[in-house]
Amino acid sequence: MKILTFIFGYCILEIQSLFTPHFREFLATEFGEKEAKLLERVDLEEKGSYGGREKAEDKIRNQPVIFVHGISSTANKFHPIKHLFQLNGYTNADIYATTWGDPQRNVIVLSVECEYVKQIRTFIRAIHLYTKRRVDVIGFSLGSVISRKAIYGGYCDGEELGKPITNMVDTFVSVAGPNKGSAMCDSFSNIDLCNPNNGVSCESSLLYELNTVGSRYEALNSFAIYSSTDEKIGDMCCGAKCGSLESSNREFGDYKMNHDKLLLATAKLQLDLVVKHRPRAPQPSRKATPKKTPITTTPTVTPIITTTIAQTQKITVVSASENKENERHEPASDLEADGFKTSTVISYTITGAAILIAWLLIFTLIMHIIRNRKPKYQKLDVLNQFSIPQINDGKAAFLLTNGASLADYRWIGLYNQCTKEPVPLISLDGLDAPREEIISPIKGKNKHISSGPVRILNCNTILIPDFRFVEKMEKPDSYFYVGIGLFPNKIEGQKKARVLGFEGNEPLENYHGDDVMIRLPAGLRTFDVDFLAIYNEAEREYFGFVTLPSVLVPPCAE
């Protein structure tokens, strides 16, 4: 077991790699040494697996959650999601993952093989037995299909896996899963992944079996999250949404982002789905929510001025999406009480002269926010909402939630609930909203340094994906630096940047395709520096660099 320290959001977390000895011993005792080795995947070192109690007396605080990764990946794929769960009270004893298959295997020779299905089925059964609780399962990409087959059971290559283990799973969440197929198979029908037996062609025997059972066998509760612009599974497959999940409680399918980004952008939604759907006392009956309504949020503001008049009006601040054709699925009633409402409103009950004051105040605030162009806060929440939660000292903060962007909206206005008519106040057409920026990879002086395209996440945080670096010096003395000036000929100044997860400014270790998060020195923003470089202090030599453009990105992390 290897312990690394990472920083996510505002907290320092201990990230465990590989199973704890306590869980490892349980697996070997209950399922045999061979199964324990298959599940732990020590061949992949810290990327292979995680989960388990440190000591027998450690309590399981939450319903355990199992992450199932997708093609050519590892358990490490879910580390950012794991961080978020830990920030919300989960411990290593509550979070589990294993790696199925060979992460280096070419995608064109992959399919939903029985060995992967059996591995995940054993893993679910093991954690259910180990924790003595129902589990939650989040399956990403092909991991969704593998998990569904693992839970359903039945025959696999002529072998009987057993009956469905639905009673062991409380919630199943599919993220970017090719549940109804992959549109890619329309063009590449000859590759193994699209074969008609156990592939993800929309007409394959496997998907036909999983989609015609007619019941919610994956779990007591099931949800699907997918994007209409997913470049890997596509949008429509044989007349249905590729990521749709048969008999699910609810689907979230109006995202417009790529395959991998969807996993991270919906992290908070994934957490809420496994936590906030829990059964509760019966709720009062309510009218069905219309599918097409403005997206707003729920708090009610108390009247500021009270006068006695015969009639009152309710006024709501709303925004309109430019993609009006996208309909949201109606929410399940057990979600609505926890805030999973497709269309709820902030109602200001205002009487008499307060109506005029409210209109003028809201219009002034909206104009101020649009002129500044930079949202003061960004916050992940359940739905893509755009709202004014409260007004303090003449200031209001608009919250963009769950990956939503100002660019997704055409106007901001008021909505009169009496006349049921919107009143646009300000146009957002052409607004250049802050967003993450993807720039070029790190340019290394030799083959020992490389990376994927670097991402500027916010004004003081940079992500270097697939970073590869081999220190050739006997004594490691290389660091990340950020600097001002024309690199490398006219450098005017530079400072060390910190790798999140390490205390202080430690020399760089060797990296082999890892995702590395960089935090800029205090007081510096990405707008203030011109480059990020790898610099060896002993040799006074730069090994690699990337130029940082001045772009409008989200606010800094604290």
Nearest of 137, 290, 295 to residue 224 by alpha carbon: 137
Residue range 16-42, pLDDT digits in tens: 568 999 999 999 999 999 999 999 999
Q: Which amino acid is at 264?
A: L
Taking the C-alpha atoms of residue 332 and residue 339, their distance in angstroms, rounded to an integer, is 11
The average pLDDT across 507-518 equals 89
Query: Across 408-477, where does the E strand assignment appear?
Result: 409-416, 421-427, 437-438, 443-444, 449-450, 455-458, 461-469
Phi, psi of 99 (to 5 degrees): -110, 125
* CA distances (Å), origin 11, targets 4, 80, 83, 88, 229: 14, 13, 9, 11, 33
95-98 vs 65-68, strand pairing mode: parallel
Question: 213-240 as b/e, with b when 16 or more CB fall inside 10 Å?
Answer: eeebbbbebbbbbbbbebebbbeebeee
| Angle of CA points 127, 133, 135, to nearest 5° | 60
pTM over 0.75: no
pLDDT at 304: 31
Q: Give the architecture (CATH level 2) of 437-547.
A: Sandwich (2.60)
pLDDT of 374 strictly over 70: no
* Least trusted range by pLDDT, from 413-417, 479-483, 538-542: 413-417
The 313-321 sheet, strands edge to edge: 348-350, 313-321, 409-416, 421-427
CATH 3.40.50.9100 describes domain 2-275? no
DSSP per-residue string spanning 358-370: HHHHHHHHHHHHH
What is the predicted pLDDT for the residue at 417? 64
Cα 269 from chain centre: 8
Q: Report how far residue 40's alpha carbon sits from residue 208's, in angstroms, rounded to the nearest whole number.
A: 32
Helix/strand/coil for 515: strand
Q: What is the pLDDT of residue 528?
A: 85
* Residue 179: alpha-carbon gap to chain centroid: 19
Instruction: Spell out a b/e string for 423-452, using b for 16 or more CB atoms within 10 Å of the CB, else e.
Output: eebeebeeeebbeebebebbebeeeebbbb
Between 407 and 109, the higher pLDDT residue? 109
Q: In Å, how far are 61, 65, 147, 268, 269 from 275, measured between CA atoms? A: 12, 10, 20, 11, 10
How does residue 214 score in pLDDT terms, banded at 50, 70 and 90? confident
The answer, yes or no, to whether residue 549 has pLDDT greater than 90, is no
Q: Residue 466: what pLDDT? A: 92
pLDDT surpassing 60 at residue 334: no
pLDDT in tens, 234-249: 999 999 999 999 889 9
> What is the Cα–Cα distance from 326 to 521, expressed in whole angstroms?
43
Which residues fall within 8 angstroms of residue 334, CB to CB, at 6 or more apart?
Answer: 249, 277, 279, 280, 283
In this model, does residue 115 exceed pLDDT 50? yes
pLDDT at 2: 35
Strands 135-140 and 65-68: parallel
- Closest to 256 measured CA to CA, from 183, 321, 351: 321
CA–CA separation, 162 and 149 (whole Å):
11
Give me the count of residues in the chain.
Answer: 558
User: For position 133, what pLDDT does the model report?
Assistant: 94
DSSP state, residue 423 = E
Cα 52 to Cα 65: distance, rounded to the nearest angstrom: 11
Q: Quote the DSSP letter at residue 78.
A: G
The mean pLDDT value for 344-368 works out to: 57
Mean pLDDT score, 477-490: 83
| Rounded mean pLDDT, 136-140 | 97
pLDDT at 490 over 70: yes
Same fold across 2-275 and 437-547: no
Percentage of the residues of the chain whose pLDDT score is greater than 90: 41
513/346: higher pLDDT? 513
User: Region 154-172: what's the mean pLDDT?
Assistant: 93
Q: Which residue reads 């689907």 in tokens?
A: 251
Helix pair angle (142-152, 114-131), 10° resolution: 70
* CA-closest candidate to residue 345, choices 388, 292, 304: 388
DSSP codes, 284-326: PP-PPPPSS--------BPPSS----S--EEEEEEEEES-TTP
With tokens 């009247």, the residue in question is 303
Q: CA 152: distance to chain centroid?
A: 26
Asked if residue 327 has pLDDT above 60, the reply is no
**Mean confidence (pLDDT) of the chain:** 77
Q: Where are the domains of the chain?
A: 2-275, 313-323+337-427, 437-547
The whole-number average pLDDT for the span 352-377 is 58
Give the model confidence (pLDDT) of 182-192 as tens digits: 998 988 888 88
Predicted pLDDT of residue 492: 78
Percent of the chain with pLDDT over 70: 68
Q: Could you tell me where the DSSP H helices lie in 400-512?
A: none
Out of 40-54, 64-78, 93-107, 139-153, the most confident range is: 139-153
Please report the pLDDT score of residue 325 as a whole number.
37
For residues 194-211, average pLDDT = 93
